[in-house]
Structure 1
Amino acid sequence: MWFCHPHQGLARHMSFLVRSLVVLSLWFGFLLACVSPTEAQTVERSSPPTSLGDPQELETFLNGVMTRQLADNHIPGATISIIKDGRILLDKGYGYADIQQGQKVQADRTVFRLGSVSKLFTWTAIMQLVEEGKVDLHADVNVYLKTFRIPATYPQPITIENLLTHTAGFEDGTIGQLVPQIQDLEPLGAWLPKHIPARIFSPGVVTAYSDYGAALAGYIVEQVSGMSFERYIEQHLFQPLGMRQSTFRQPLPDALSGQLSHGYTYSNGAYHTGSFEDIETVPAGALSSTATDMAHFMIAQLQLGGFGHTRILQESTARGMQQQHFTNDSRLPGMTYGFYEQQIDGHHLIGHSGDTTLFYSLLMLLPAPHVGLFVAFNSHGGSMASQNLLQAFMDHYYPAPQTTSTTPPAGFSERARQIEGTYWSTRRNETSYQKVGYDLLSPVTVSASGSGHLVIKGVGSQDINLVEVQPWIFQRTDGFSDTVIFQSSGTEMNMFIGNRPYQAYQKRVWAETPAFHVGLLLLCLVLFLGVDLSALAYLLRAIRRKARLKPKVGAFRSELPRWLGWTVSTLNVIVLIGLFLLFSSNDPYAVQFAMSPALVVVMMLASVSALLTLGVVFYSFLVWRMPSWNRWQRLFFVFQALAGVVFSMDLTFWHLLWLP
C-alpha cells in the first residue's frame, strides 16, 4: 500500500592502466564480469564474496545486521526467511511480537501484516486465469466489470496489462482504504464504483503506482472465477503452497488471530501498540502471513511455478510474469507483471515491498542464483531497516567491484540549472483535497551540491546524494546501489529513480511549487492577522468612547465594509489553523483515510469566507467614495480584498473549499 523501497545500482564500466602482467590479468577478469557502457572507472576487489549456502554463517551475519537495525530504527520485532535452490536456508524471528506479554517472534508461527506484498498474490492469481484462457492481458478491463465501468477519459482503454504494470494512469488516493471498524468494510463490488479515481495519464505512457488498480484486478479475479477473492487465493495459492498460516480474511480466523504480532509506533522514547488495521482494498494490501509461508511462495516463483509435486503456474507463464513489460527508461529497471525490478551491485532482482501504518515488509528474488529474501517488521521503522538489510545482504554475498571516484563529465553546471527545482511524483492526487498531502506537504527537491553532485530531498526518509557519471546520468554515493536519470522532453524535465520503477517524477513550474504556495499563504496570514489586530484595537477604542458617542447618519453604511473585512480575515485565520491541525494530526481518519467532520467544517468555513470575499471586493471600490475613510484605510482595505481573493484561489487550487 504505502511504501518505500531498496536501492538499485548502475552497472560499472572500467579501465585500468597496465603496470604489470599480474595487474593486467586481473583487469581482464574483472572486465568480463563488470563491463557496461556507462563510465570508465578504476575497479578493485579486496576479497572474494562470501558464498551463500552455509546456514550457520548466514545466521551469524543476519544476527548482526538485524540486531543493529531493530535498535537503530526502533523496531520491536521482525521475521525473516532466506531461500536458495528450492530450500529454506534460514527462517527466524527477532525481537518481540508482544512487548507487554514478552512474546517473541517465531518465523513459522508469528503472523505479520504485509501491506503491498499482497499484490504479488493478486497478480499471480490473474496470471493463473490468463493461463486458463479466462483473462486476456490486452483486453479492456471493462470487459470483466458487470456492475460498473471505468470512464473513457482517454481514447485508449485501460487493459489488464496496464493494471499489472501500474500504467493505467490513475491518480492516487487513500480515502476509504482503511476503515475504523470491521463492520465498515464493504464488498469490493460495492466499494470500487464509489471510489473510481480520476485518470491523469494516458494508459501505457508512464508508471503511476495504484492501489485501486490492484484492488480492481482482485475484483476481476472474483468476477471471472465466480468466488470471493479470499477463497480463490486460499484454494489456488495457499493450499497448493502449504501456506497454512496465511490469510486475506479480516478479521483473522480464530486459528491465526492469537498468532498475530502487534504493530507499534515509537515516540517519546516508548513503544505504543496500534490496533488491527481493517483494509478495504483487500487484494492490494490485506495479506497476513509468516516468514516460513512466504518462503514457500518465493520457492514457487523461483522454480517458475513449481512447488514440490504441484504447480501454481506453468513454466512459460511464470517466465512471462517475471519478464520486464514496461520501463520509464530503457537504461533502468522496470515493471514485470506485478514485480518491480531492481539492479543492486550489478545483479538483477525482482520483488515488492509493502507497508501499512504499523508494519513494513519486503520480498526480493534473485532469479539467476535462485535466491529469495523476505523480511517483515512490526513498526514503520522497517522502511529504512529493509533498505539497509537488503544492501548489506547484497554487499556481503553478491558484492559489486569496488570503484574509485571519477571526474564528472564537462557541462554539469548547465545541466544542473535545468535539473534543479521541485518535482512531483506521478503517484499523486490532482482532484481532491488529498493533493495537499501528496504535493504541498511532501515536496521532492533536487539541488546541486558541488561539481557533478546533486542532492534529492523528499524521496524516502533520507537525502539521496548523487554524482554524475555520464551526462544526465547520476549514481548514489552513500553506499546504496542506485541510478537516477534525468530526461528532458520539450519544456518538461522528468526524473527516473532506478529503485522506484513504479513511478516517475516531473519537474513543476514555479507557480505549482510548494514554496510559492506556502509563501502566498504566509503573506495572506500576516495581512489577516494585521486586520484582526486592527479590529481588536477599533473595538477597544469603541468601548472606551461608547458613553460619549452618538449615532451618525450613514454610520452603518461606512462601517459595514470594516465588519465584513474583519469577518473574512477572522474566518481565514481559523481556516488556516484548522487545516494545520488536521494535516499534522496523528489520527489516520482526520484527512488520510477519511474526510473527517472537522475537515468538512473547516472547508465549509473556507467556502463561506470565499463568498464573503466577493463582498469585500465589491466594497473595495465603494470605500473610495466614503468620506469617513482616509486614503490609507482605503488602500489597506484594497490589499485585504486582494489577499482574500488570493487565499480563496489558493484553497481552490488545493481543493479545500466545500462544494457539495
Structure 2
Amino acid sequence: MRTVPDDIESRVEKLVLESLDEYDIPGAAVAVVRDGEVTMAEGYGEADAEEGLPVEPTTPFRVGSVSKPVFWTAIARLLRRGELDDDVPVSEYLDDNFVSWDDPVTLAQLATHTGGFEPTNRNMWYDNPADGRSLPEHLDPMPAQTRSPGTVGQYSNHGVALAGQVLASVVGSSFPDAMDELLLEPAGMETASFHQPLPTDLYEAHASGHGGDRDGKFAGLGTAPAGALSASAADMARFMQLHLDDGRIDGEQVLDPDTVELIQQQWFTHHEELAGMALGFAEAYYGAYRIIRHAGGTPLDAFWTELRLVPELGFGLFLSYNDDSGQDPVIEIPETIIEEVLPEPDVTAPESDGRPTLADELEGTYRSLRRGAHEVDSIFLTLNADTIDVSIADDGALLLEDGDDTTRLVETSPLVFQDVETGEKVAFGEEDGEIAYLFMSGSPDAYECISSLESIQFHLLVLAVSLLGTGSGWLHWSPSRDDGESRREWFQSLRTDQRRRARFAAHLVGSAFSLFVVLFLVYLSFDFEGTFTEPSFLFRLLFVLPLVGAVAAVAALVLSVRVWQEAYWQLRTRVHYSFVVLSGLLVTGFLWYWNLLLPP
C-alpha cells in the first residue's frame, strides 16, 4: 500500500515560500490532509501588502471556482435525503416565470457542464460585492442554450448558479443562508461564507487581491454558487478531511459515507476511456491513481486557487495565492507534490501502426466550446478559448499543437489516442457521421472542429482590412463645402447632387465605424469586466454609431450603382469608392456576427 511521505508538509512549505519570493506574491493559504487527518493549515506572507498584515490559518481567501465542489457537496446532501432528484428537470423546483430556456435541464447536467448554456460574463462581476443583486436577478434570463443538454461539455458558471437557485428554492432561504445551514456550519468551516458582502468580522480579516483590475479586497460575483466562496486554509482543510475520511471531521460524522461516495463517483465522461467529471470535481489520473480536483481564479481581484484530492491515499492539497502572479505556481506546486506523493506512472505506449482510423478527417483546428455566441462579450471569450491544431505525422502518430507545445500520441483503439510520454488519452467524437469533436481527458469542455472561415484570426483579418477601407473613406470622401458655399446651401445640395450624396455616404460609413471602434476600445480599457457584466447607458449609447454606419453602408451600396452607371470620377476613384462601400458592409457583418451591432 502506497503511503504519503512523512515530510510532505515541509516540502509543501518550502515550495510555497520559494514561490512567494520568485513570483513576488504577497501571501498564500495552504492546507494538507493525509490519512484523513489535517496535518497542515497555514498562512504565509501578507494578507494585505500595503498594511503588512500576515496571512493566518484563519485568513479568508477568495477561492473562485473551487467554490463549485463545496457547493455541490451541499447539493449531494439533498440528493441523498431525496429532497432533490438529479434526473428531474430543474424547472420543477423553480417558479415558472423564472424558466427562460427551451430544452429541459437536470441537476446532473448542470453539475457536469452539459446543460448546453453558452458561457458569458453577463451579470457576473461587480467592483463592490455590495453592488450585486439577488441570485434570481442575476440569472434572469439565463444565457442561451447553444447545445442540446447532456451531449457535450461547455463550461457554464451560469449553469452552476442555476443549480444554486434550485438549492435555495428547496431550502426556502437565500443561497448563502442555505449553504451555511447545509454544509458550512455542520462542517465547522467558521471563516467560510458565500455572503456578499461578508459579515464585518470576516471582511476585516479577509486577504486583499493584488495585481488585478480593481482596488479593494475582492470583487463581487453575480453567479455566487460558481465562485463567490471566501474560505481560509483551516476551512478548506476541514472540507478536504470531509472528503478523505468518509464524511468525518475530527471523528465526527458530518456527511453520510454514501453521500461522499455519490459525490466522488464519475458522473459524466465524453468517452469511457477518458477521465471525466465527478459531482463538482474534475477527474484526472496519475498512473493508476485517480485524482479529483478543481482550479479557481478570480481575475478581477487576482486570487488563484487549486484543490487536489487523492481519495485512495486520503491525501489532499489546497493552495491559494492573493496575487495575479500566482497563476503559474498554483498549478506547478500541486503537480510537483503529486509527483512526489505518487509513484512514477508506468507508461507503455504502443508503437505507431500506420495511419489511424479516419486519419484524413481528424486533421484540422479544434476550439474549446468555452466561447461565446449570442452575448456582447462573445468575441472576447472566443479570443481566449483554447485552440488545438491536429495533424498526422509521417509515421501515423497524432500530433496535437497547442501554442508552442506539441504532443505526440498513438492510436490505442478506434479514435482513442495515448500520449507516448504521460500515458494520458484523448478521443474524437462524431456528429452526423463526421468527426466533430476532440475530447481531452478530465476536461469539462469539448473541442469543436472549426473551418478556417470560423477561426478568430480570419475574422480579425477581415475586420482589419475593412477598417482600413472605412478609415480611408473617412479621410478621402469628406463632402466639404465649396468656396463661398453656406452650410444651408451645402445641406440643400445633398438633396439634388447625387455625387455629393455618394461622397457623404462613404464619409459617414468611415466616420461612424472608425469612431465606434476607437471609443469602444477606449471604454473597454477603463472598465473591461464591468462593461460586459452590466453595460452602462453610456456604453449602450455608443451603439448609435455602428447603426448609423450600417445604414450609411447600405445607402452607399445603392448609390454605387449610379456611380458606375454614370461613370462618376476616374476609374481608380470609383474602385476606391466601391472598396469603401464593401468595407462598410464587411464591418457591419462582423459586428452583427459578434453581437456588436445593436446595444446589449
**Does the alignment reach a TM-score above 0.5?**
yes
Q: 1:528 aligns with which of 470, 476, 498?
A: 470
Q: 2:30 aligns with which of 64, 77, 80?
A: 80
Distance 2:246 2:143 in 1: 34
Are 1:240 and 2:182 an aligned pair?
no
Alignment CA distance shift 1:515-1:589 (3 Å): closer
Task: Return the offset for 1:408.
Answer: 4.4
Task: Answer yes or no: is the 8 Å Cα contact 2:473–2:509 preserved in 1.
Answer: no
Are 1:439 and 2:382 an aligned pair?
yes
Are 1:373 and 2:317 an aligned pair?
yes
Task: Return the offset for 1:239.
Answer: 2.1
Alignment CA distance shift 1:457-1:570 (3 Å): farther
Residue 20 of structure 2 is matched in structure 1 by 70
Q: 1:130 aligns with which of 76, 79, 97?
A: 79
| Mean Cα deviation higher: 217-226 or 466-475 | 466-475
Q: 2:118 aligns with which of 157, 166, 171?
A: 171
Task: Return the offset for 1:375.
Answer: 0.9
Residue 399 of structure 2 is matched in structure 1 by 454
Distance 1:175 1:190 in 2: 12
Alignment CA distance shift 1:144-1:378 (3 Å): same
Task: Return the offset for 1:69.
Answer: 3.0
Amino acid at match of 2:68: K
Distance 1:545 1:659 in 2: 38
Residue 190 of structure 1 is matched in structure 2 by 137
Q: 2:340 aligns with which of 396, 399, 417?
A: 396
Task: Answer yes or no: is the 8 Å Cα contact 1:582–1:590 preserved in 2.
Answer: no
Residue 62 of structure 2 is matched in structure 1 by 113
Distance 1:626 1:659 in 2: 38
Distance 1:553 1:52 in 2: 83
Distance 1:355 1:441 in 2: 15
Amino acid at match of 1:610: A
Matches within 5 A, 1:227-626: 227-265=173-211, 274-308=216-250, 310-357=252-299, 358-401=302-345, 408-411=352-355, 415=359, 418-440=361-383, 442=385, 444-446=387-389, 448=391, 452=397, 454-457=399-402, 463-470=404-411, 473=416, 482-489=424-431, 490-500=433-443, 502-535=444-477, 556-582=497-523, 585=525, 587-626=527-566
| Mean Cα deviation higher: 377-386 or 130-139 | 377-386
Aligned-partner SS, 1:265? coil
Give identity over the alignment, percent.
Answer: 28
Distance 2:272 2:291 in 1: 16
Residue 15 of structure 1 is matched in structure 2 by none
Task: Return the offset for 1:409.
Answer: 4.4
Q: 1:153 aligns with which of 89, 93, 102?
A: 102
Aligned-partner SS, 1:334? coil
Aligned-partner SS, 1:79? strand
Alignment CA distance shift 1:413-1:575 (3 Å): farther
Residues 387-412 of structure 1: CA distance to partner in whole angstroms, max 9, x if unpaired?
21121011111132466987544337
Matches within 5 A, 1:639-650: 639-650=579-590
Task: Answer yes or no: is the 8 Å Cα contact 2:118–2:156 preserved in 1.
Answer: yes
Task: Return the offset for 1:169.
Answer: 0.9
Task: Return the offset for 1:350.
Answer: 1.0
Task: Answer yes or no: is the 8 Å Cα contact 2:409–2:419 preserved in 1.
Answer: no
| Mean Cα deviation higher: 446-455 or 592-601 | 446-455
Task: Return the offset for 1:171.
Answer: 0.8
Residue 46 of structure 1 is matched in structure 2 by none
Distance 1:599 1:659 in 2: 8
Distance 1:165 1:587 in 2: 32
Amino acid at match of 2:127: P
Distance 2:519 2:357 in 1: 43
Aligned-partner SS, 2:477? helix
Task: Answer yes or no: is the 8 Å Cα contact 1:589–1:595 preserved in 2.
Answer: no
Matches within 5 A, 1:27-42: none
Consecutive unaligned residues of structure 1, counting only runs of 5 or more, are 1-32, 34-48
Amino acid at match of 1:153: D
Aligned-partner SS, 2:33? strand
Distance 1:362 1:553 in 2: 65
Task: Return the offset for 1:141.
Answer: 0.5
Aligned-partner SS, 1:264? coil
Task: Return the offset for 1:601.
Answer: 3.4
Distance 2:27 2:494 in 1: 76
Give the root-mean-square deviation of aligned CA atoms.
3.2
| Mean Cα deviation higher: 67-76 or 570-579 | 67-76
Residues 31-53 of structure 1: CA distance to partner in whole angstroms, max 9, x if unpaired?
xx9xxxxxxxxxxxxxxx9x525
Amino acid at match of 1:95: G
Residues 57-86 of structure 1: CA distance to partner in whole angstroms, max 9, x if unpaired?
223312332234334444221111110122
Distance 2:315 2:493 in 1: 89
What is the number of residues matched between the two proteins? 589
Task: Return the offset for 1:499.
Answer: 3.8
Distance 1:366 1:390 in 2: 12
Distance 1:183 1:246 in 2: 18
Aligned-partner SS, 2:408? strand
Superposition TM-score, scaled by structure 1 size: 0.82
Aligned-partner SS, 1:258? helix
Task: Return the offset for 1:274.
Answer: 4.5
Task: Return the offset for 1:183.
Answer: 4.1
Distance 1:308 1:137 in 2: 30
Amino acid at match of 1:164: A
| Mean Cα deviation higher: 631-640 or 161-170 | 631-640
